Amino acid sequence: MSKLRELFSDTLVYGISSVLARFINYLLVPLHTGVFNTAQYGIIGLVYAAIAFLNVVFTFGMESAYLRYAENRKEAPNVFKTLQLGLFAFASLLCLILYLAMPALLPLMNLAPETSAIFLLMLGILWFDTLSIVPMAELRLTRRAYLFAALKTLNVLINLALNFYLILGLGFGIEAVFLANLAGSFVMTILVWIFTADLLKGSFSKKWVQTAFEFGWPFVPSGIGFVINEMLDRFLLNGMDPANAERLYGAGTTPEDIVGIYNACYKLAVFMLLVVQMYRMAWQPFFMRHAKDGDSRELFGRAFIWYNLFSALLFMVVALFKEQIVAISIPGTEATLIDSAYWGGLEIVPFLLLAYWFHGWYINFSSGVFIKEKTKVFYKITLMGAVITVIANLALIPIFGMVGSATATLLSYGAMATTLGIYSKKVMDVPYRLPESFGLMIALAGLVFAEPWFTTFLNGGEILSKGLILAVGIIVTVVYMRICQVKIDLSQ
């Protein structure tokens, strides 16, 4: 149990910083949705989708490669310098290529030639973020979680402050969003370079270039697959037939409006993504440290059970009370957490929460694949997920609009997690208790989607029905925990 406390402690540190950072960053949602119209907010979503896609190519799996090979502290300086110099050259070359291709790429993000400055700001964000990847991974690997958290939080504070100053103080348009982001990334990157500068005393090594490349390249197609799952829906919704947009959401509603609404409501799923991200930050270094322990299989199985506990509770709270959450008033203003013009997309939230819950499963299942160095399976599985995403979006968007797109994301993440779970058990037999875990997810999803029936049964008692469903969900989760713990104990 002490080892799980170690995982929980690191997760908590990353989590507090991530929660704080996300909370601070979430203050931008009422600002942006209150100031910009749905079409403008859609452009912000498209540009950030492009950043997410390009970030995978820029970093080239080097974060994971560093975590894998810098665990040998004698070689860490050599690995650090080699990867950092390699990324410097690679990121600079990619920025040049994208700059030359800018005229052809602007229309993909609904940007006009006069707004090309946003594209240049995007390149700056990508460059600085890429060159912070390896130094930030070093902080995680050496368990300097508090410094990691402080730098991330500083980045967000700078971003937040400049957003308010540039938009409300100076009257900037959507370019302020990216200028503020660039400033935050610049400061964080410079500082993390300073804190990890000693590692540049190592030597550049062609051996580590080859080793890191062989380990890291499968993360590029797998990362692209994940970004397709995560971001392609914005572009597909943007290309939606205008007639379908009006049929589903009313006269005058354009595909650009739908992208903005979808992007805003997607923010509620960030609560689950937050749990997944903070867990991932602690999980990858944790399972590498304990890979050779005699009880590693049982340890990883118990970690998965506890992950499901927190995910289950968060799913229930956010999915049930989404309407109340977006209606929270910002103190001192008339604004709400998300402007009411965007509430029409709230029905997508439960689907996306489930998708991110599955994403956390995928991260758990990656441990055995990392340890056994079978990383090539990642790109095969995520490309499978990407194919599912594309086909499901194309089939469902014309019929169900935003819900169809959210459903496609759920189907993709579910398929990927299940496939990796089956493969992972073959290379490292961890007692994940998958039948019970699927049962938990299905039971809680059934309760949430049955909320209208409960409300009708209770004669319109909406809050009462939500409270009743939450109570039943907690009982189901506790029973799940007890059953899984007992079965893991009996298997030892």
Is a pLDDT exceeding 60 seen at residue 3?
no
What is the distance between the alpha carbons of residues 270 and 248, in angstroms, rounded to a whole number? Answer: 25
What pLDDT score does 319 carry? 93
pLDDT band at 11 (very low <50, low <70, confident <90, very high): low
What pLDDT score does 300 carry? 81
* Tokens 């599955």, residue located: 358
pLDDT band at 4 (very low <50, low <70, confident <90, very high): low
Instruction: Quick: pLDDT tens for 37-81.
Output: 877 887 887 888 888 888 888 887 888 788 777 777 787 888 888
Is a pLDDT exceeding 60 seen at residue 308?
yes
pLDDT band at 445 (very low <50, low <70, confident <90, very high): very high
pLDDT band at 5 (very low <50, low <70, confident <90, very high): low
pLDDT band at 294 (very low <50, low <70, confident <90, very high): low
DSSP-assigned states of every residue in 56-100 = HHHHTTHHHHHHHHTTSTTTHHHHHHHHHHHHHHHHHHHHHHHHH
pLDDT band at 20 (very low <50, low <70, confident <90, very high): low
What pLDDT score does 173 carry? 87
Instruction: Quick: pLDDT tens for 67-77.
Output: 777 777 787 88
What pLDDT score does 469 carry? 92
Mean pLDDT (the chain) is 84
Alpha helices per DSSP H over 142-205: 145-164, 175-195
Q: Would you kindly state where each structural domain of the chain is located, as residue ranges?
A: 1-23+219-492, 61-216
Q: Which residues contact 476 (CB under 8 A, 6 or more apart)?
A: 440, 443, 444, 447
What pLDDT score does 12 carry? 59
CA angle (272 as vertex; 270, 477 as ends), nearest 5:
160
pLDDT band at 291 (very low <50, low <70, confident <90, very high): low
What is the distance between the alpha carbons of residues 278 and 20, in angstroms, rounded to a whole number? Answer: 12
What pLDDT score does 489 carry? 67
What pLDDT score does 408 carry? 94
What is the distance between the alpha carbons of residues 199 and 190, in angstroms, rounded to a whole number? Answer: 15
Q: In this structure, what token pair is assigned to residue 308? A: 């499901």
Which whole number is the average pLDDT over 130-142? 87
Instruction: Confirm if 360 and 279 have CB atoms less than 8 A apart.
Output: yes
CA-to-CA separations, 359 to 281, 363, 417, in angstroms, rounded? 14, 6, 7
Is a pLDDT exceeding 60 seen at residue 2?
no
What pLDDT score does 26 carry? 62
Instruction: Confirm if 185 and 125 have CB atoms less than 8 A apart.
Output: yes
Q: Residues of 229-252 as b/e, b for ≥16 C-beta within 10 angstroms?
A: bbbbbbbbbbebeeebbeebbeee
What pLDDT score does 10 carry? 61
What pLDDT score does 426 carry? 82
Is a pLDDT exceeding 70 seen at residue 16?
no
What pLDDT score does 8 carry? 60
Rounded to 10 degrees, the C-alpha dihedral 159/164/170/172 comes to 70
Is a pLDDT exceeding 60 seen at residue 1?
no
Side-chain half-sphere exposure of 372, counting CA atoms within 13 A: 16
Instruction: Quick: pLDDT tens for 172-214.
Output: 988 999 999 999 999 999 999 999 998 888 888 888 877 877 7
**CB pairs under 8 A, 24+ apart, for 88-95?**
88/131, 90/58, 90/60, 91/58, 91/126, 91/127, 91/130, 91/131, 92/127, 94/54, 94/57, 94/58, 94/126, 95/123, 95/126, 95/127
Alpha helices per DSSP H over 239-346: 242-249, 255-266, 270-289, 296-320, 322-326
Q: In this structure, what token pair is assigned to residue 377? A: 């399976």
Instruction: Confirm if 225 and 386 have CB atoms less than 8 A apart.
Output: yes
What is the distance between the alpha carbons of residues 127 and 422, in angstroms, rounded to a whole number? Answer: 37
What is the distance between the alpha carbons of residues 184 and 182, in angstroms, rounded to a whole number? Answer: 5
What pLDDT score does 452 carry? 87
* Tokens 């579910």, residue located: 414
Instruction: Confirm if 401 and 243 have CB atoms less than 8 A apart.
Output: no
pLDDT band at 122 (very low <50, low <70, confident <90, very high): very high
Nearest C-alpha neighbor of 32 from the set 173, 135, 230? 173
What pTM was computed for the model? 0.73
What pLDDT score does 301 carry? 80
What pLDDT score does 492 carry? 58
Q: What whole-number percentage of the chain has pLDDT above 90?
A: 30
pLDDT band at 418 (very low <50, low <70, confident <90, very high): very high
Angle, helices 402-427 vs 376-400, to 10°: value is 160
What pLDDT score does 121 carry? 94
* Tokens 């995680």, residue located: 140
Is a pLDDT exceeding 90 seen at residue 461?
no
* Tokens 């919704």, residue located: 237
What is the distance between the alpha carbons of residues 222 and 240, in angstroms, rounded to a whole number? Answer: 27
Query: What string of H, E and C letters represents the secondary structure of 115-145?
Result: HHHHHHHHHHHHHHHHHHHHHHHHHHHCCCH
Q: In this structure, what token pair is assigned to residue 16? A: 């507090």
What pLDDT score does 449 carry? 93
